[in-house]
Structure 1
Amino acid sequence: MEALSLLQEFEIHPSGIIHVGANDGLEFDAYRQSRADTVVYVEPISSIHASLKAKVESCKNHFAVRALCSSKSGEKVTFNISSNAGLSSSMLDLGNHAKIHPSISFVASEEMTTITLDDLLADKFPQSRFNLLVLDVQGAELMVLKGAVETLKSLDAVYTEISEAPLYDNGCTWRDLDSFLGPFDFWLKNMTIGRTGYGDALFVKNASFFSPLRMKKVDRPGVNVALHKCATQSSISAFSRAQEAQNAVNGVVTGSYAFHTAEEARPWWQVDLGALTSIDQVMVFNRLDIAADRAFSFVLKLSSDGQRFEQVYARSGEPFGGADGNPARIKLNGAVAQYVRIELAGGGYLHLDQVEVYTTT
């Protein structure tokens, strides 16, 4: 299963898995091989749940639960059952799904009562700990997450279906999920979207892939004059967040990325110091969660007007860190500039944790 393979990159072992919208348990073999302590499959359709239960009951720590998870418990809803073996079934109307897949329709329905994931787990699995949530709920992902506020606190990762635009009527987009999960410290770490506009995404909790125990004190030569100054970047990507260029000068070292450009030729990020400044040193903090090597070859450019830039430093593949106490330290010995730009030496993505600028004393 793709989610389990991706988790290995972050050294996350799925100790407890919840799969909401499990259908007939296609992932059963993968979950069994993961050796998770507990696996819960949630499926609302009665006939499919019966098949699912028969499949997983051979494993004593795998449980099939018939339930319809949503943002509130106790609501009466009509659940629509689709013609493709129930795979596109949803509590929402088909909407754009019918245009993309005209051969698929709703052929039956069942009256159900909703329950939040928090209530379901508290009732049936009060002693179990889960760290991976998998969502396959056909447009209702945000509804399920809104009913899983307590569950999210213990999770390390969420793997979910996503779409660029709502696939079902009143459904959500990947941006809606990113906005909701952000305050819970989940970061979008992997996303695939096909030509039809939908796919899958992995959100990983920040503490899961860069432990504060690995963070080390960094000696700083004075006052960071780039702190909270205006920053910009060459492009945004599917992994970007609002105002993210500013995040690289907010003074908070996390071990993850503060900004993330699109994949392009010579992507860049820059900060406007507000006035001509005599610069002694620039410190660049790399992300340490994944793909740190993408930033190993970069150039540093300076400008007095934001239009004409002069290259003053080049790094050619030498590794560097950041929150681990080993940021790149670039001595400029009093070079005068207002704009400081970091640019990849070639093509790719540019993503960094923090950039700090220090003046001569």
Structure 2
Amino acid sequence: MLAKKVVWVEASPVLFASLSKNIQGLRPESNKRSFFQRLHGNVQTEHLCVNALIGDEDANEVDFHIYDNDGKSNSVFQIDRSTSDYDFLNETGEVLKMPVKELDSALSEVGIRPEEVDVLVVDTQGAELLCLKGASKLLANARYVEAEVSTRPVYQGGVLLTELDTWLSSRGFRRKTIVRRHHMNSVYKRIA
């Protein structure tokens, strides 16, 4: 089954503009369908972009740190320098002051109902747990969660795998991915 709707959430205004432009060709009115969709007559997936910094509550502005790798590591957290794993990564010196929104709130503002989301993918550079805490309505309906996980600190204050496992387990999800690297994505499936 193909996804009917994909919602892309990006905090950085610069990356959001680029993302929005890139997904224009994925909109149903563009008549661009994949070979699989044409072959099987599937309806094209709808793609929406939301420009928001996601967290555990609707709140005032926080610092959003910009890194020198084209936005791949931008975060509300700074890199943890206690190991040499990320010595190559540096802040640009630019720190954006941005308001925080719960994911539930941000999606509600663009007309997305929680029951429309059955898969939630979270890659928020150490802030995955904060994002999920602000998505209680979405999680109540989701069948799967994919999240970036770390077995050792990458970001100061960032969530670690054991903490995320425990929190998602208490909400009826079990990790289905064997974590073989200290920093990778993992899939959780609703079991309760």
TM range (shorter): 0.7 to 0.9
* Separation (CA, whole Å) in 1 of partners of 2:153 and 2:144: 23
Q: For CA contacts below 8 A with separation 6 or more, give which structure has more relative contact order.
A: 2
**Are residues 97 and 112 of structure 1, via their aligned partners in 2, closer, same or farther at CA, if it must alter by over 3 Å?**
farther
Matching residue's letter, 2:17: A
Matching residue's letter, 1:57: Q
1:50 is aligned to 17
2:167 to 168, 175, 180: 180
2:60 is aligned to 75
Deviation at 1:124, TM superposition (A): 1.3
- Aligned-partner SS, 1:184: coil
Q: How does 1:205-244 map to 2 (within 5 A)?
A: 205-206=190-191
- Aligned-partner SS, 1:193: coil
Deviation at 1:125, TM superposition (A): 2.5
**Are residues 44 and 144 of structure 1, via their aligned partners in 2, closer, same or farther at CA, if it must alter by over 3 Å?**
same
- Aligned-partner SS, 2:18: helix
2:100 to 101, 114, 117: 114
Residues 24-59 of structure 1: per-residue CA shift (max 9 Å, x gap): xxxxxxxxxxx3111100001111110100011231
Q: Determine if the alignment matches structure 1 residue 163 to structure 2 residue 150.
A: yes
**Are residues 133 and 190 of structure 1, via their aligned partners in 2, closer, same or farther at CA, if it must alter by over 3 Å?**
same
**Are residues 80 and 97 of structure 1, via their aligned partners in 2, closer, same or farther at CA, if it must alter by over 3 Å?**
farther
**Are residues 82 and 102 of structure 1, via their aligned partners in 2, closer, same or farther at CA, if it must alter by over 3 Å?**
same
* Separation (CA, whole Å) in 2 of partners of 1:74 and 1:83: 27
* Separation (CA, whole Å) in 2 of partners of 1:71 and 1:166: 20
Long gaps (5+) in structure 2? 29-45
CA RMSD of aligned residues (A): 1.6
Deviation at 1:102, TM superposition (A): 1.0
- Aligned-partner SS, 2:188: strand
Residues 193-249 of structure 1: per-residue CA shift (max 9 Å, x gap): 32xx21121100015xxxxxxxxxxxxxxxxxxxxxxxxxxxxxxxxxxxxxxxxxx
Which one has the bigger strand percentage? 1
Matching residue's letter, 2:145: V
- Percent pairwise identity: 28
Q: How does 1:254-273 map to 2 (within 5 A)?
A: none
Cα contact 1:56–1:62 (8 A) shared by 2: yes
2:78 is aligned to 93
Matching residue's letter, 1:115: K
Q: TM-score, normalised by structure 1?
A: 0.46
* Separation (CA, whole Å) in 2 of partners of 1:97 and 1:126: 40
Which one has the bigger helix percentage? 2
* Separation (CA, whole Å) in 2 of partners of 1:151 and 1:97: 35
Residues 285-306 of structure 1: per-residue CA shift (max 9 Å, x gap): xxxxxxxxxxxxxxxxxxxxxx
Matching residue's letter, 2:105: D
Cα contact 1:69–1:115 (8 A) shared by 2: yes
1:124 to 85, 110, 124: 110
* Separation (CA, whole Å) in 1 of partners of 2:102 and 2:82: 25
Long gaps (5+) in structure 1? 1-12, 14-34, 208-361
2:43 is aligned to none
Cα contact 1:134–1:158 (8 A) shared by 2: yes
* Separation (CA, whole Å) in 2 of partners of 1:77 and 1:102: 25
Q: TM-score, normalised by structure 2?
A: 0.84
Q: Determine if the alignment matches structure 1 residue 140 to structure 2 residue 127.
A: yes
1:251 is aligned to none
Deviation at 1:64, TM superposition (A): 1.2
2:138 is aligned to 151
Cα contact 1:165–1:172 (8 A) shared by 2: no
Q: Determine if the alignment matches structure 1 residue 200 to structure 2 residue 167.
A: no
Cα contact 1:191–1:200 (8 A) shared by 2: no
Matching residue's letter, 1:94: I
* Separation (CA, whole Å) in 2 of partners of 1:48 and 1:120: 17
